[in-house]
Amino acid sequence: MTLGKTGVACGLCMTALVSFSIAAEAKPARCFTTDDGYYPCNYKALDGEGSFRVSAPGYPTITLEIDQPGFAFGYARFGSRNRSLPGQFVRSRDDGACWNNPQTNTKLCAW
């Protein structure tokens, strides 16, 4: 590869890295869980499929990973340990920011 092509390739790589790092930053949000009610939180997208993580001081960090469109499994971090959340989460038809778990009758939203 010539020096000019190497420079262009490096420039493209740096642009991609900066774009991905910006997209991966947590953003302020408002959360709701059946257990904790409404609270301010940070929302972080994890991939292009819709998986995400919400976190806030004094609350468990909750991650939902998309299993297939409209369905997800979750886990919560309590201190230094992750615990699987039972059942499957289904995206709400009424509010796309919310996920319902019919097996446990729980709800998680992040706006």
Sequence ranges of the domains in the chain: 25-110
What pLDDT is recorded for position 11? 45
What pLDDT is recorded for position 12? 41
Rounded to whole angstroms, how far apart are CA atoms 2 and 51? Answer: 40
What pLDDT is recorded for position 2? 52
The answer to whether 25 touches 44, Cβ cutoff 8 Å, is yes
CB proximity list for 32: less than 8 A, separation 6 or greater: 38, 39, 98, 107, 108, 109, 110
What pLDDT is recorded for position 18? 42
What pLDDT is recorded for position 56? 98
pLDDT tens for the chain, 111 residues: list them.
Answer: 454 554 444 444 444 444 444 456 899 999 999 999 999 999 999 999 999 999 999 999 999 999 999 999 999 999 999 999 999 999 999 999 999 999 999 999 999
- pTM beyond 0.85, yes or no: no
Burial of 62 (0-12, 13-18, 19+ CB in 10 A): buried
